[in-house]
Structure 1
Amino acid sequence: MAIKYILIFFVVIYLFVACSPKQDTTDVSITEVTFVKIESISMAKLAKLKFEDIYGFETDDLDMALRVFQKDCQKSAKNPNLSYVCSKSHNYTDGKTYFKTYFTPYKLYKTNGQKDGTLTGYYEPILKGSLRKTKKYRYPVLKVPKNKKIKKLSRAKLNKIKHKAENILFYTDNRVDPFFMEIQGSGKVKLTNGTILNVAYAGQNGKKFYPIGKKLLEIKAIKNKNMSLDAIRKWCEENPKDSQKLLNLNESKVYFSFSEFGATGSLGVPLVAKRNIAVDRRYVPLGFPVFVQSFNPYTKDSLNTLTIAADTGGAIKGEVRADFFWGTGKEALKYAGKMKDRLNMTILIPKVGYRR
């Protein structure tokens, strides 16, 4: 299932470092670019490149990228534009040879001819929980309510209801972690006996999403330069009486179910940390390789990585727009919660076998 609501909405939408990918040898003026359209694949403006013109491509772990592409081909091979290259991929272990043999790189541009977009990050959280309500574990994580009227209620109204056991998936020890899991769209729960279960998106109440980070900035509870997921969490912990009021400003409510698999994207395959991205499928079809050029959110070193588009998201709109999957747990949160930088995207399009 798609990661429906992305961390950007309330954390990194206020964080922006005005810089562009370093040493981007394709950085030419708009007047020097010859745009093409391949509407069977992308509605974006495209500019054909040579692989040697893509800074960082040769030094990336392309063998790893190939393995992820092969895995994702379990689903993406159904796309007639990818079926041929997917069938050939299993004959290769050398990613560099494979991608150069079967693909042509095209840089993505916005309608206005600009190549710079935005890269944010997301992750899979791990919650502590119990299948039974206890003094410690008393905050319910809900399944999709069978009663349609209840399903459509706002977050505030849902919090006032005494829910039937059949509508409760599990209980957790605080109200903030489930809220953040809703933003990510999936997660894991570690039960009191040590068992870890996968938690997947199952539905939503249809209400409008509100970025709570925006409110904290308005009331000057957090400074713009300090805004992060950890900052929001800390504020909620320090203001327990007001934290529920803050969360209730976001009327949108996500429901969950247990799943056999971990974080799974819209393509229908488990996501791989640092190798899968969420995209706007109008411009980047799921399953296509995309070379991402941006920055590490902490070190600010260049981030040049061949990824596979495997997910979508409510905040991921536009030609040059992506959400970078960092993985599971606290370390992934550290990067996802801070990431927002300028982005260049190069989509790899099959040389043969696609509908023109």
Structure 2
Amino acid sequence: MIILTLFLVGCSQKEVKLNVQKKTSVIPSSIELQEQKYEDVLALFLKECRSKRVQKLYGDLCSKARKSDSPKRFIKENFHPYRIIDGDKESGLLTGYYEASLRGSLTKHLPFIYPIYSEPEDLVTVDLSSIYPQLKGLRLRGRLVGKRLVPYYTRAELSKVKAKPICYVDDRVGRFFLEIQGSGRIELDNNETIYVAYANQNGHRYRSIGRYMLQKGYITRDKLSMQSIAQYLKEHPEKMDEILNQNSSLVFFRVSKQAVTGALGIELTPMRSVAIDPRYIPLGAMLYYEAPSRDLKGIVFAQDTGGAIKGAIRADLFSGYGKKAEHFAGGLKEKLHLWILLPKESDE
């Protein structure tokens, strides 16, 4: 945890504890929040207040919110926006994600042949902060060979993974994108539905297959989207291994009792929940964002994380479930301006 000094109006300074990197700064802003549904914002803030992380971040505002009879006045009077700046950059990247849906079976048979794996028995996760407190939040993953911890199997070595399948699906590309989304629902051939959520990861860094396809000339930048990537792979099955294996990262799942939940442990809300990089923005934070080129703006909540979400001005907007949500998320890649909403007491 780094104590970040906020440079406020005039010559005064105030210290606010945020989990950020040294090059990141948050600057008081006079921006007028463009929000249409403050009642939704207050309801979600109250829902978030069940989390101890949020209670610690916002203090007595949680109890104060329960007594409010005017959502708009409560937000306006108790929160102040601070613009997030990353070094000399004032803008970053907004992308989208959704709750994936696949067809599957509890048993392996055609066409259900692609396993959705639970956490492997031989995957070792080391919390580095237990040895080095300054490395809080960092984990080392691998497998034991004798007395040595070595890197875990990559995507290209998927057949070597020692894990029990939760179920089997009929779409290899869909399975890949399920890992990118981090959670989803499986419509089983026995007419039941199971929800799967992120359990762990193999420790290898996420690599964008879209960037690789651009470099190889398989796809053009103006056509790049999740849908166009999926279409290319289905039309060129001979390149499936080459392209998918560029991303060595593997995600393992667990069965969940409810629809998609984020890293904060709260069920995600379409167009209100975002995944962020917790090295810069604390989970549970209330944020305000603008993506001018798509006229997207509003108050959102930092409720999730993701392997591809790196940087201070970086957010992944959850769009919900269904084809419309999938289409929206797959085509969202816009310039992002981001503010964190902190208690007004911080600048007094």
Question: Deviation digits for residues 61-97 of structure 1, max 9, x if unmatched?
Answer: 1111111111111115654231311111122353211
Flag the structure with more relative contact order, 1 or 2, with Cα contacts below 8 A and sequence separation at least 6.
1
Paired positions, count: 312
Range with bigger deviation, 132-141 or 206-215: 206-215
Give the match for residue 302 of structure 2. Answer: 309
2:54–2:285: 8 Å Cα contact kept in structure 1? no
Give the match for residue 110 of structure 2. Answer: 135
1:77–1:83: 8 Å Cα contact kept in structure 2? no
Give the match for residue 335 of structure 1. Answer: 328
CA distance in 2, matches of 1:35, 1:292: 27
Q: Any idea what SS the aligned residue of 2:238 has?
A: helix
**What pairs with 1:267-306 in structure 2 (closer than 5 Å)?**
267-295=264-292, 300-306=293-299
Range with bigger deviation, 317-326 or 36-45: 36-45
CA distance in 2, matches of 1:102, 1:219: 51
Q: CA deviation at 1:355?
A: 11
Q: CA deviation at 1:265?
A: 1.5
Give the match for residue 84 of structure 1. Answer: 60
1:81–1:355: 8 Å Cα contact kept in structure 2? no
**What pairs with 1:96-135 in structure 2 (closer than 5 Å)?**
96-112=72-88, 114-135=89-110
Give the match for residue 68 of structure 1. Answer: 44
Give the match for residue 158 of structure 2. Answer: 158
The correspondence for 2:234, drawn from 232, 237, 259, is: 237
CA pair 215-301 structure 1, distance change in 2 beyond 3 A? closer
1:123–1:184: 8 Å Cα contact kept in structure 2? yes
Q: CA deviation at 1:131?
A: 0.4
CA distance in 1, matches of 2:299, 2:273: 9
CA pair 42-146 structure 1, distance change in 2 beyond 3 A? closer
Could you say what the CA RMSD is over the residues aligned between the two structures, in angstroms?
2.7
Give the match for residue 322 of structure 1. Answer: 315
* TM-score w.r.t. length of structure 1: 0.79
CA distance in 2, matches of 1:320, 1:248: 28
Give the match for residue 18 of structure 2. Answer: 41
Does residue 174 of structure 1 match 2:152?
no
Give the match for residue 140 of structure 2. Answer: none
1:66–1:93: 8 Å Cα contact kept in structure 2? no
The correspondence for 1:246, drawn from 237, 240, 243, is: 243
1:116–1:342: 8 Å Cα contact kept in structure 2? yes
- Residue identity opposite 1:46 in structure 2: V
Give the match for residue 213 of structure 2. Answer: 216
Q: Which runs of 5+ in 1 are unaligned?
A: 1-31
CA pair 35-180 structure 1, distance change in 2 beyond 3 A? farther
Q: CA deviation at 1:232?
A: 1.0
- Residue identity opposite 1:41 in structure 2: L
CA distance in 1, matches of 2:82, 2:280: 12
CA distance in 2, matches of 1:317, 1:208: 11
Q: CA deviation at 1:234?
A: 0.8
Does residue 204 of structure 1 match 2:180?
no
Give the match for residue 54 of structure 1. Answer: 32
CA distance in 2, matches of 1:119, 1:33: 32
Question: Deviation digits for residues 146-196 of structure 1, max 9, x if unmatched?
Answer: 23459922222223x5x78x7111011121111111111111111113222
CA distance in 1, matches of 2:204, 2:10: 43
- Residue identity opposite 1:126 in structure 2: S
Q: CA deviation at 1:197?
A: 1.2
Q: CA deviation at 1:343?
A: 1.6
CA distance in 2, matches of 1:92, 1:273: 24
CA distance in 2, matches of 1:116, 1:348: 17
* TM-score w.r.t. length of structure 2: 0.81
**What pairs with 1:256-271 in structure 2 (closer than 5 Å)?**
256-271=253-268
1:107–1:347: 8 Å Cα contact kept in structure 2? yes
The correspondence for 2:180, drawn from 173, 178, 183, is: 183
Q: CA deviation at 1:311?
A: 1.6
Structure in which a larger fraction of residues adopt strand: 2
Q: CA deviation at 1:202?
A: 1.2
Percent identity between the aligned chains?
A: 34
1:35–1:47: 8 Å Cα contact kept in structure 2? no
Q: Which runs of 5+ in 2 are unaligned?
A: 1-8, 124-142, 145-150
Question: Deviation digits for residues 275-322 of structure 1, max 9, x if unmatched?
Answer: 011223343222221111114xxxx54112111111222333333222
Q: Any idea what SS the aligned residue of 2:229 has?
A: helix
